[in-house]
Structure 1
């Protein structure tokens, strides 16, 4: 049976609502908002060839206020027409709760209680959106790179303002048609990854090559209507050059500078910043992706790695921080695009993205990593950082994320002290939150 339909990956089929949740420990009084996370959750059996990235999205949320856990809800994102239900990230911007997916998918707006409102074009972003916009902490604008298999070798850089509409958008030419899951932001640059996981029409089983103009119809049929067992049409291309691009924020394609690196793949950026003429980019680096396993990201361990681009010399240095296999890196997002010291990640056991019980804390200045093991039978997910106050120090805050407990068969929303990784509180949920993707703390305005 497909590994992404078993154990903690297995979907849940009941939409639950529960109030006044049981809490172990003490919830800080200053937490007033919702913790939201999304992931794939196919409502029916998608077949043995199912790819984890292609399950319909389900959002799980907990409302915290006045030291209480007021409610838990899980809801499917209900797409309209041929739209693919977003399954990759959920966040709040310009007063709207948005569920997003990449590769040309349409963002969807949700209510405060996580019911589906409908498609949201973010003020005419063309060609779909992305799973990983990055917010500039000074301006509040969202910066993003969006791609689609229908666009050939063109991707879009967009800036969405605090009013929820596009302020700036420009096309960037890349080598071929790569999967660009994430980007990065510095004070003056957008960072673009042009890496060797590329569109592969042959991944759509049983279909002969088609002209590019037919590609959108073919993939729409394959992904949204269940043919080809929902194969992801991207695979590793050993002949594709790996490179990182720096685009000045208000620039155009003509202003991009490209820097070659050794072949690899990057799903997620920890953070990036400028230091003199260097651009420093901390990522989780995979040696390859979708080369032998086409059901999910199962190509061996991934490590926290720093790329330092010397823009004066035109060279890139690469440094691996430690040997922990990990994914889902996060940082204090008040420092997005600025120099950071700390990062946090979920430890990964064996191959793929099956997480264990370990939360990792990195000090990229001292070069040390601290492990916090939550106990046998527990599986962590992505943890995000929530500062204690708007002006608190970088490491003064809480790490927050869902943890599955095999002993109870249910999940908890776990809060850890970001400095010590010690327990603060756990909110006990009425059901299981399947292994999924990304989430965020959305404070009450």
Structure 2
């Protein structure tokens, strides 16, 4: 292995340390930021990387570039984005790179010119997802930040509004229809009492925008997509103007009086065509799995469900543990029924993207017995049989979101590779672990990275 910056490594830490001396969880242990941008070549590998894997496994997460003014009240969701990428080809791990997304905070801290492109909204925290949209790869977040177009080497090339066609904002959780290649998004800005449904073509231009009014300033983090509908999640987490005026960097509040419902918007319909379906109680969902139209006219969606969110304050996103549920929305009755699928604490549901919006079988999440300290295992759930299979990564190993990559030449839903960045608390380094989805117990390859990868949010396999 060779390094462009051989000194850019982190000292070993005590893996029992989860709170820093100032009491901030999200600035200590593997939540703490890394400040060096590293390039490493010819990475060390245990096992054998499947030769068919040619592309990059990229993820992103919050990584403050400057000292935090108020560490005790630092919110994990607000840090500048840092990208981490591993390039695989011909059975080798050719390189690892980490790069800050060049939003305003990073550009000013580094003394660099701003990236080209339009300027509107807040662009300091593209820290939530990396996704291919049209022909480009973008670092994404929600609530008004413009997407950031990335180079192959993970440098920020430009701010993007999709050639001037984008609506008021974009989202970190669009869905790509595998049958058309178009990208579907439900977007919002905190200042408006509405969402926008946007459809991006394979050429990277928005061809359709629909404004859908909402009764409040609602955070709409994710969505579902079926062949008939774009599904809007109207959940009881709203933006507080009072909290924003008091200086809260993330003024989100639990608002159970808002209620909880999903909106079924026909993909070529208008706001007047939305059918709203009420849920029992007031649960909350950050992340959805797959969804599809059932033969009886209902809409089935699998979600990771919380009882509440931000109940105490906006710092405590994981006070309650989430579990895998199935929601069935009936447009005939305007009601949603709930079914608990799996009672393990879990998050970050992924599936084979080739079946987005279609009836499917397998969900892959990460699981833990102590969520604030990190996710320790991988959970595969069979929605047809109602069974699950769990594997733990081992002592001191804390996993991040798992990505499914189909096997070359296979159309079988579960025939593919599960890939994840995994923090090793015993070495303060990170591995990329590759398993076959049909053999969770035996990883086929472990790629050793030269540095630590802080806990973050989402990522993608971008095939060459």
What is the TM-score when the length of structure 1 is the normalising length? 0.92
**Kept in 2: contact 1:79–1:118 (CA 8 A):** no
Post-superposition offset of 1:391: 3.6
Residue 141 (structure 2) pairs with residue 122 (structure 1): no
1:211 counterpart residue number: none
Post-superposition offset of 1:267: 0.7
2:174 counterpart residue number: 133
Structure 2 gaps, min length 5:
1-22, 105-113, 115-121
1:214 counterpart residue number: none
Superposed, 1:348-427 pairs within 5 Å as: 348-352=368-372, 354-421=373-440, 422-427=442-447
In 2, Cα distance between the equivalents of 1:236 and 1:253?
Answer: 26
1:233 counterpart residue number: 251
Cα deviation 1:57-80 (Å, max 9, x = unaligned): 000000000000000000000114
Post-superposition offset of 1:419: 1.2
Structure 1 gaps, min length 5:
207-227
**Kept in 2: contact 1:49–1:231 (CA 8 A):** no
Cα deviation 1:114-133 (Å, max 9, x = unaligned): 11112011232121200101
Residue 123 (structure 2) pairs with residue 83 (structure 1): yes
In 2, Cα distance between the equivalents of 1:33 and 1:253?
Answer: 40
Residue 19 (structure 2) pairs with residue 4 (structure 1): no
2:273 counterpart residue number: 255
Superposed, 1:268-287 pairs within 5 Å as: 268-276=287-295, 277-287=297-307
Residue 347 (structure 2) pairs with residue 306 (structure 1): no
Residue 319 (structure 2) pairs with residue 294 (structure 1): no
1:49 counterpart residue number: 73
Post-superposition offset of 1:205: 5.8
**Kept in 1: contact 2:184–2:198 (CA 8 A):** yes
Q: Secondary structure at the match of 2:256?
A: coil
Q: Secondary structure at the match of 2:461?
A: strand
Superposed, 1:102-251 pairs within 5 Å as: 102-123=142-163, 124-151=165-192, 153-204=193-244, 206=246, 228=247, 231-251=249-269
1:35 counterpart residue number: 57
Q: Secondary structure at the match of 2:26?
A: helix
Cα deviation 1:235-294 (Å, max 9, x = unaligned): 100211110000000111000000111201111111000111111000000111011142
Post-superposition offset of 1:7: 0.8
In 2, Cα distance between the equivalents of 1:202 and 1:390?
Answer: 55
Residue 89 (structure 2) pairs with residue 70 (structure 1): no
Q: Find the partner of 1:321 among 317, 324, 341.
A: 341
**Kept in 2: contact 1:175–1:194 (CA 8 A):** no
RMSD over equivalenced CA pairs, Å: 1.3
Runs of 4 or more above 4 Å deviation: none
In 1, Cα distance between the equivalents of 2:217 and 2:290?
Answer: 25
Q: Secondary structure at the match of 1:423?
A: coil
In 1, Cα distance between the equivalents of 2:408 and 2:162?
Answer: 29
**Closer, same or farther: CA 351–69 of 1 in aligned 2, 3 Å:** closer
**Kept in 1: contact 2:194–2:211 (CA 8 A):** yes
In 2, Cα distance between the equivalents of 1:335 and 1:355?
Answer: 29
In 2, Cα distance between the equivalents of 1:120 and 1:390?
Answer: 34
**Kept in 1: contact 2:253–2:313 (CA 8 A):** no
Q: Secondary structure at the match of 2:77?
A: helix
In 2, Cα distance between the equivalents of 1:170 and 1:362?
Answer: 35
Residue 83 (structure 2) pairs with residue 59 (structure 1): yes
Post-superposition offset of 1:417: 1.1
In 2, Cα distance between the equivalents of 1:202 and 1:378?
Answer: 41
Cα deviation 1:289-326 (Å, max 9, x = unaligned): 01114214122110000001123333321001121001
**Kept in 1: contact 2:276–2:331 (CA 8 A):** no
Post-superposition offset of 1:167: 1.1
2:13 counterpart residue number: none
Mean Cα deviation higher: 53-62 or 119-128 = 119-128
Count of aligned pairs: 420
In 2, Cα distance between the equivalents of 1:301 and 1:258?
Answer: 27
**Closer, same or farther: CA 95–296 of 1 in aligned 2, 3 Å:** farther
2:4 counterpart residue number: none
1:344 counterpart residue number: 364
**Kept in 2: contact 1:84–1:106 (CA 8 A):** no
In 2, Cα distance between the equivalents of 1:292 and 1:298?
Answer: 11
**Kept in 2: contact 1:89–1:439 (CA 8 A):** yes
2:133 counterpart residue number: 93
What is the TM-score when the length of structure 2 is the normalising length? 0.88
In 1, Cα distance between the equivalents of 2:243 and 2:294?
Answer: 42
2:463 counterpart residue number: 443
Q: Secondary structure at the match of 2:318?
A: coil
2:10 counterpart residue number: none
**Kept in 1: contact 2:218–2:237 (CA 8 A):** yes
